[in-house]
Structure 1
Amino acid sequence: MPDRLRHLDDWLRGWGWASLVANGVLVVTGGVVRLTGSGLGCPTWPRCTEESFTPHGAYNVHSVIEFGNRMLTYVLVAVAVATFVAAWQSGRRDLRRIALVMALGIPAQAVIGGITVLTDLNPWIVSFHLLCSLAIIGVAVLFLQRVDHPAPVVARGPVVGLAWATFAAAWLVLYVGTVVTGSGPHAGDVKAPRNGLDPLQLSQLHADVVFLFVGLTVGLLFTLLATGASAPARTAVVVLLALEVGQGAIGFVQYFTDLPIVLVGFHMLGAALISASVTHVLLRVREPA
């Protein structure tokens, strides 16, 4: 029996990582769609064109990129279903609930993506589309944590409160970042609208909330060191801080070099990593055992 349970845990862990990686890839490929101006490569939804579900007879680089991103949804569905089946076989309600949330998130994302196309890449809906992917990444991290820690002892107190504040600041940074993008040049299509806000002022606001985020992370790290917190919690915060420094460096460079496509793509990958890392930090601090 112990060998069987160990094998099942490995199976669950593997599918949890598959969900995490697949949704991270979706963030990056979605960035490729926008950065190459391929957002309307398939000009309608759920069909690619008015006549077909595929860009048959109308192939160009933009339609191929957009259609390829749509096809990734089927990979995500397969991974989500397999994750849910594995969670169901485990007999654990907590894993079943988390896996169900991830599974329902995939078709929800597809619908949001369809609305994005039907509204000609409305920047506010595009922002929501990205944020949903980042949220699913966080849920995947929670799934992996629950596989290894099925019945955690939840800590309380000011240190946990600081971890929650850091988590909230991270999501504020992610949200403002999407609004900044919605005001900038990478609309996904030359005819797509922008949100009409001032990119310079939004960039300054984004930098301000980034400094808040970094400051809270540094404060959390010193607090954990002072209170003798567990090594995994301290390590998780150090990893998050390193990601913040790298992400901030990319952000400053791309701003002063007129937003080159490659750097913006790496910045989107960084957003996915930040979502995963800050969730991991919160869980490690909140569940120290």
Structure 2
Amino acid sequence: MSRTATPLPAVEVTGVVPSRALRVLAWLSFAAEVIIIGTGGAVRLTGSGLGCTEWPLCTPESLVPLPEQGLHGIIEFGNRTMTGVVGILALAVLLLTLHAVAGLPLVKRALWGAAVGVVAAVVAYTVSAPFGLPAFGFASGALLLAVVIAAIDSLRRTPRRRDLAALAWVTLAGVMAQAVVGGLAVVSDLNPFVVGFHYTASLLLACVTAAYLVRMRSVTGPRVRVVPAWFAVLTHVSGVALAATIFFGVLTTGSGPHSGDADIVRDGFDATVLAHVHAWPGYILAALVVVLTVAAWVLRLEPRRWLLVLVAAIAVQVAVGVWQARTGLPEILVGIHMVLAALSAAVYTVLVLRLKRPAAARDTVPS
């Protein structure tokens, strides 16, 4: 009888097979993280940053925008509503992940942790409100602290696929922290550094959810590099160039004309100078990625297809950046530029994860 090599079934290697619901919700979570960058950009680029003057209420008297807030209030409240959608998706992914890796007991423990967090938030609000302190801020901080504690407890009790559980917890905690930072942006009258951090954190959450999608389809265990060492080093150098490009891009936007509200004038860095500084690491990044792509296809390396995706994203990003700079920074192009930066970072995250593969993926068993 012939004995041919057959790949191990995923369940034998990982012990975890993501359900269809988990796969769908994980993709929706990633999509929502990208969409909220677009809605956040719309808030800023339409001058709706203070469309809701309070947080978490829209006005001192109302949770939702009133007619006098007009379109600006609707746009700002729409972005806040999107935050709720992102949070619900992150929570759903977390609970399904915990159920997949450890069963119902860990899900119940996480829900009990959430209940304790809600109680802590109520207590923090009740104690701080009479003294005129930012009660909602204290309540949000207490809830976030409870989530962090619950995450640490959960990860200690997770018997397998701790990587998936950790990514799911980071996403949920990050979304909650993002809501707090968004509130700080409002109460600080759209401080450019707070707004810039708000965008950067959203971009990082897009990368985390992209990493979850990759790891969800991978087996667990030791990982081995599938590219030459020099290729891996050059890829990480490209990551530094990407980070520098995004950093200076955030500073450039923060110093430009789109402050988020017509009554707020930026008078910090020189946006014209920063635009050139932002372009330098961008061109270096483009050159490095082209070198990596050519090398990957010549050597037939595993991540070569993702490099093509990254080349396409960066090429469009560069074109949009040059176009917007030469046409006076029209709002639509700035918004596209912001979203493309997040997508480029997410694709780069996938690329880095493709530099290695689980050693177990090479194992075979006789049929």
Fold match, TM over 0.5? Answer: yes
Q: Partner residue of 2:35?
A: 25
2:52 is aligned with 1:42: yes
2:339 is aligned with 1:274: no
2:230 is aligned with 1:161: no
SS of the residue 1:53 aligns to: coil
SS of the residue 2:355 aligns to: helix
Which segment is superposed worse, 190-199 or 88-97? 190-199
Are the counterparts in 1 of residues 17 and 100 from structure 2 also a CA contact under 8 Å?
A: no
1:139 is matched by which residue type in structure 2?
Answer: V
User: How far, CA to CA, are the matches of 2:254 and 2:16 in structure 1?
Assistant: 46
Are the counterparts in 1 of residues 29 and 86 from structure 2 also a CA contact under 8 Å?
A: yes
Aligned-pair CA distance for 1:16: 1.6
1:199-238 matches, cutoff 5 A: 199-230=271-302, 233-238=303-308
Which residue, 71, 74, 93 being the options, matches 2:162? 93
Aligned-pair CA distance for 1:273: 1.1
2:219 is matched by which residue type in structure 1?
Answer: P
Aligned-pair CA distance for 1:113: 0.4
Q: Partner residue of 1:53?
A: 63
Are the counterparts in 2 of residues 182 and 195 from structure 1 also a CA contact under 8 Å?
A: no
Please list the CA deviations of residues 164-219 of structure 1 after superposition, one character each: whole Å capped at 9, or x if unmatched.
Answer: 11122112111111111011101110122425111111111111010111111112
Aligned-pair CA distance for 1:285: 2.0
Q: Partner residue of 1:256?
A: 326
Are the counterparts in 2 of residues 87 and 95 from structure 1 also a CA contact under 8 Å?
A: yes
In percent, how many aligned pairs have the same letter? 38
Which residue, 228, 239, 254 being the options, matches 1:182? 254
2:264 is matched by which residue type in structure 1?
Answer: A
Q: Partner residue of 1:133?
A: 202
The TM-score with structure 2 as length reference comes to: 0.74
User: How far, CA to CA, are the matches of 2:10 and 2:336 in structure 1?
Assistant: 42
1:6-25 matches, cutoff 5 A: 8-25=18-35
SS of the residue 1:287 aligns to: strand
Aligned-pair CA distance for 1:224: 2.0
Q: Partner residue of 1:109?
A: 178
SS of the residue 2:344 aligns to: helix
Q: Partner residue of 2:188?
A: 119
User: How far, CA to CA, are the matches of 2:62 and 2:51 in structure 1?
Assistant: 13
1:116 is matched by which residue type in structure 2?
Answer: A
SS of the residue 2:269 aligns to: coil
Aligned-pair CA distance for 1:13: 2.2
User: How far, CA to CA, are the matches of 2:296 and 2:18 in structure 1?
Assistant: 34
2:286 is matched by which residue type in structure 1?
Answer: V
Once superposed, what is the RMSD of the aligned Cα atoms? 2.0
Which residue, 307, 310, 315 being the options, matches 1:240? 310
Are the counterparts in 1 of residues 223 and 357 from structure 2 also a CA contact under 8 Å?
A: yes
Aligned-pair CA distance for 1:43: 1.0
Please list the CA deviations of residues 33-58 of structure 1 after superposition, one character each: whole Å capped at 9, or x if unmatched.
Answer: 01110000011212211222222353
SS of the residue 1:48 aligns to: coil
Change (3 A) 1:100 1:195: farther
Which residue, 180, 196, 213 being the options, matches 2:268? 196
Pick the structure with greater CA Rg: 2
1:135 is matched by which residue type in structure 2?
Answer: L
2:35 is matched by which residue type in structure 1?
Answer: V
Are the counterparts in 1 of residues 10 and 219 from structure 2 also a CA contact under 8 Å?
A: no
User: How far, CA to CA, are the matches of 1:100 and 1:7 in structure 2?
Assistant: 19
Are the counterparts in 1 of residues 50 and 189 from structure 2 also a CA contact under 8 Å?
A: yes
Aligned-pair CA distance for 1:68: 1.0
User: How far, CA to CA, are the matches of 1:185 and 1:163 in structure 2?
Assistant: 34
1:49-88 matches, cutoff 5 A: 49-56=59-66, 58-88=68-98
The TM-score with structure 1 as length reference comes to: 0.93
Change (3 A) 1:195 1:12: farther
What runs of 5+ residues in structure 2 fail to find an aligned partner?
A: 1-8, 102-160, 362-367
Aligned-pair CA distance for 1:278: 0.9
User: How far, CA to CA, are the matches of 1:243 and 1:66 in structure 2?
Assistant: 28
SS of the residue 1:70 aligns to: helix
What runs of 5+ residues in structure 1 fail to find an aligned partner?
A: none
SS of the residue 1:170 aligns to: helix
Are the counterparts in 1 of residues 16 and 100 from structure 2 also a CA contact under 8 Å?
A: no
